[in-house]
Structures are given as structure tokens and as C-alpha cells.
Chain A
Amino acid sequence: MSRPELLERRSVISGIGQSDVGRRLGRSDLDLTVDACLAAIADAGLTRDDIDGLATFPGAGVGTAGFAGPSSPEVQDALRLALNWHDGGLEGPGQLRAVFAACMAVAAGLARHVLVYRTVTESTAQGEGGRQGIGGGGGDGRGVPRFSGFLQWTIPYGAVSAVNWLAWIAQRRMYEYDLTREQLAWISLNGRRNAARNPKAIYREPLSLDDYLAVRMISTPLCLYDCDAPCDGSTAVVVSHADYAPDAPRPACHVNAVGTAIRGRPSWDQFDDMTTFSARDAAASMWARTELRPSDVDVAELYDGFSILTMVWLEELGLCAKGESGPFVEGGARIALDGSLPLNTSGGQLSAGRLHGFGMLHEACLQLRGEGGERQVARPPEVAAVAAGGGPIAGCMLLTRGPS
């Protein structure tokens, strides 16, 4: 049987845009989204009249306050878009599912230029209080809701945050692979080092290994600096048909392959291998769709909602050997801007803010276009790996500077 056509290769990212990013900006999610969308449309050399598709993750009304961003109908109406195709939803291969859907819509001829956005206002929603667990943290016991579905198995035990579920992975890796906190720290330290060169980053002051080891624990072995920084911000991209690439004012980023699989059980606590998560399956499916090899990747933007996720993505994408991410990142030389594999070059979500996967995508495009400014990687990159998600929510993609 011949291999089916890799339809994602009919699509490019022709434009990128981002709103202000910060703590407690006090602006509405729709306000930030309009900024990001207009920036992306202009960057693509288009007007809103050219946009005929719209997609977002996760769509309104899900998650804790400030998580979801505006719905696609709100954004469509705010920009008075006339759409041939539209999509928004939570279920699928992670935050990037909206981008993958847009690629397929373009390939299928359902739309020609799809605006894709992801907006968070978690910092404003959080206010002066602490970060919330799922379920709102308990209260006084009167009128507290009960829980069904997956949450019934975790919330009664105070496992109310993804940090608890992912701490299991970190602990299991310490047992099976001798991962140390001193190694894991380098995801955070590298991010902070890069964030110092990113004017939009949330945290830019230097962070040392001693600082990391001294900060308070959240859920062992994960400490405060292993957890990303809630922020306000919106990121948008325009996914266009590849035949638009020559007309785009900026270098188009070509979609080489997407990774969408989940073959293990779709669960945070029943997955077959608790040293990893569905990144294993997403990465395998991505590499099955390309002639490129892990050694071809020039820059990696790998989700760091929690530091341990980046470690798993590094291994599952084959960017280092299984179980070897600890030694690979330790000392930070390999993953530096001038290293063999520059990683999370904007500072990642740990330091630049929790833009929930789309910050990774935006940064990969900037780097491929050579527009990283002070944080541009030393070797001009041809291939970027982008990954987003954790647990049963994971997707990844390869972007290239030129067509495949």
C-alpha cells in the first residue's frame, strides 16, 4: 500500500501575532485576542477580508477562571469575519489540535487562510490570591460540589492539580532513571537565561541552581520553579495554503509533519508507562510522517507547563536517548542558544508566561524566520520541533524554513 499523501504539507504558517503579555493586565480576553489576531493577519500580508477560517483551543466555558479565552463566535463577530470553516474545542491532541485542524481544513480546500488563536487571562483571574486547584480548593464543606468522571478518582485525595499527577512521573523517573533535581533544574534555569533576552517575558531576573534548590516545594519532587507562570496574553497564527507562501511578506513556516496519536489509555493515572505520557505516541506518529530525523532538529520549543514535561518530550521526540534527558540538560550547555539543541528560546512558560503551547509555536516561527532578536539561536535554523501538552493531552509538529 502506498503511503497516503501527507496533507499537512499543503499548509504553512504565513503570519504570527501576539498581544501584550504580562501579569494582571486587567484587559479582557477578547481585547487581547483582537490585538493578537490583527497582528497575525497583518504579518501574513492579509486583511480580515482574506480570512475565511477560524479555530481555537479550547473554546469558551471550560477550565478554571481565565483559562479558556473567548469563543470562536465571539472572535468572529468582533472581527466581522465571513467564514467558510470554523472550529473550537478541547478534546484532541493537545493545545495544537486547533492548528492541526486548520492545516487539514486548508488541505481539504475548506478554507484558504485560517486564523488560529489561544488566549489566557489566568493572571488577572487569579488576582492577588494563589494558584487554584481544580474544584476551587475545598471551602467550608457546605454546598461543595461532588465530582464525577476522572476527577472523582483524584480530587478526594487532594490530587487537585496536574502538578500532583505529573509529580508521579518525575518521582518514577528518579526511581528508574536516577533523574536528580539538579538535572531537572536546568529546564527552569535555561528558560530564565533565555527570558533575560525576551522583553515580553514575565520573569527576567537571573535564577541560580541554589535559588532553585532553596525555593518551596509544591508537590515533591516538583518545586515552585518547576511550575509555569500564569499570565495574560493572546497568541495567533495564520495557517494558509502552501501556494500562498511565495506571496507572504515574511518567510512562511512550512508544516512538515504533525503528531497526533494516543495509543495508551487516555488517563493521567492509568497510562501504561508512568515515566512518560501520550507524548510517546504523538512523537512516534509524527516521525512516521516525515523523512526528517531527530538529528535534523535545529531548535526545540517543548512544552514546559511543568519542567518534567519538557524532559519527557526531549526523550520521546528522540532528541536525546530514553532516560537520558537528565544528563542531556545538566549544565545547560547543549540546550543553550549556542548549543547543539537550543531549547525553549523565549524562556518557555516557566519564565515567559503560560501562553499554553501557542507561545512555543510563535517562538518556533520567530526563530525559523531569523527574527529572534537578542535570543536568535546561533546557527540559522532550518527545522523546528514544537510540542505541547502533558498527560493524555499531547501533540507535536515539525516546521521547516523551506518547503519539504
Chain B
Amino acid sequence: MTTPGAAAGPARGPAVRLLPRLDDANRFFWTSGEDGRLRFLRCGACRRYVHPPVPRCPYCLEGPLVPEPVSGRAVVHSFTVNVQQWIPGSDPYVIGLVTIAEQDDVRLTTNLVDCAPEDVHIGMAVDVTFEHADDVWLPLFRPAERPGDRSAR
């Protein structure tokens, strides 16, 4: 549980973070950001990334699934700016749905941060950043500082 301070600048997320309950299946994911890297389960046989975590590769039903780091690069697949005060005291915040660079069927729900909500667009290139809250490192995404923004419009 964390309450970000009233620092100036674009909203990062809701005023209060409700957190995941860690267990043996998800702990690697939610603590991955401790060293600044984003990780997903990856199949040792077919090499596909798998999310959310499951016991066996759902693509090939074969190989062991092991957490592996990814680049942290992603593209905004869709987004919404939440305005409703579900969580009192929240400024409007951007709930993004991003696709990781490594595999186009692995998506994360996240907050898009460090940019004005009105500048977010579908196709926008983003990079992972983490917000540490209690025993969890929440992956958030911010505009990428690189060419290759795939936005067409």
C-alpha cells in the first residue's frame, strides 16, 4: 500500500494502490522490478512467453516455464483516461493496455506515466518503469526515448 506524494506533474495512477496478493505463481512477476527488469514466464521448448502465469505452457504443453527478463519495450494497444472517482482523491489517470515488444499476444494492463493524458495514443512506443509499493514492484510504462513510434494517426 502506498500513497504517492503530491509531487507536481502528470498523474501516475490512482491515489491509492490496491495491491496483488503474492503467491508462488505470481511472486516472480510482482517482485521482478526490484532489479529494474520486467520478466515473464517463457517456455523452454517452444520459447513462447506466457502470461498470466500458469503451470504448463499453454501453447505447446511441453516445456518448463521459467521467468526470463524482457526488454521492457512495449506498444500502447489501447488506453483510457479514468476520470470517475472510484478511489477518492485521484487525479485523472491513464489505464493503458500494452503489448510487449517480444510477443504480440502478451499484454499488460498498466498505468501510462510521465506524459500528459492527452498525449497518449494507440501505437505509442513505451518503456517499463517500476513503482515500488510494500513488497511489490508495479510495472508502469512511460513514453520511449527512441525512434520507432508506430503511431499512424
Contact = CB atoms under 8 A, between A and B. Distances in A.
A358 B110 CA distance: 34
Nearest to B86: A133
B108 A219 contact: no
B18 A135 contact: yes
Interface in B92-128: 93, 95, 97, 105, 107-111, 122-123
Q: Which of A141, A221, A272 has the most CB of B within 10 A?
A: A141
Interface stretch (B9-17, B31-39, B64-72): B9-17
Contacts of A175: 78, 122-123, 153
A219 B78 CA distance: 13
Contacts of A146: 18-22
A154 B109 contact: yes
Nearest to A148: B21
A269 B82 contact: no
Interface in A129-176: 130-133, 135, 137-139, 141, 144-148, 152-161, 163-164, 167-169, 171-172, 175
B19 A147 contact: yes
B18 A219 contact: no
A216 interface: yes
Interface string B117-153: 0000011000000000000101000000000000001
A262 to B, nearest CB: 15
A141 B78 contact: no
Interface in B25-75: 26, 51-52
Contacts of A144: 1, 16, 18
A153 B1 CA distance: 16
B18 to A, nearest CB: 5
A156 B17 contact: yes
B150 to A, nearest CB: 12
B84 A172 contact: no
Contacts of A133: 84, 86-87
Interface string A243-279: 0000000000000000000000000011010100000
Nearest to B85: A130
B1 A168 contact: no
Contacts of B80: 164, 167-168, 171, 219-222
Contacts of B93: 158
B21 A138 contact: no
B109 A157 contact: yes
A378 interface: no
Contact of A219 (B52, B84, B87): B84
A157 B81 contact: no
A163 B13 CA distance: 17
Contacts of A217: 81, 83-84
The majority secondary structure among interface residues of chain A is loop
Contact of A218 (B17, B19, B84, B108): B84
A222 B84 CA distance: 11
B5 interface: no
A130 B84 CA distance: 10
Interface residues of B, number: 43
A158 B13 contact: yes
Contacts of A221: 80
Nearest to B26: A152
A168 B78 contact: yes
A164 B82 contact: yes
A156 B86 contact: no
B118 to A, nearest CB: 10
Contacts of A131: 84
A172 B18 CA distance: 27
A153 B13 CA distance: 14
Nearest to B111: A157
Given A130-B85, A144-B1, A155 B18 contact: yes
Contacts of A159: 82, 95, 109
Contacts of A220: 80-81, 83
B79 A171 contact: yes
Contacts of B77: 168, 172, 274
B79 A138 contact: no
B110 to A, nearest CB: 6
Of A139, A171, A216, most buried by chain B (CB within 10 Å of CB) is A171
A156 B16 CA distance: 9
Nearest to B123: A175
Contacts of A274: 77-78, 97
Nearest to B51: A270
B54 to A, nearest CB: 11
Nearest to B152: A175
14 contacts: A138-B18, A138-B88, A141-B16, A147-B18, A153-B108, A157-B13, A158-B13, A158-B82, A158-B93, A161-B86, A168-B79, A168-B97, A217-B81, A220-B83
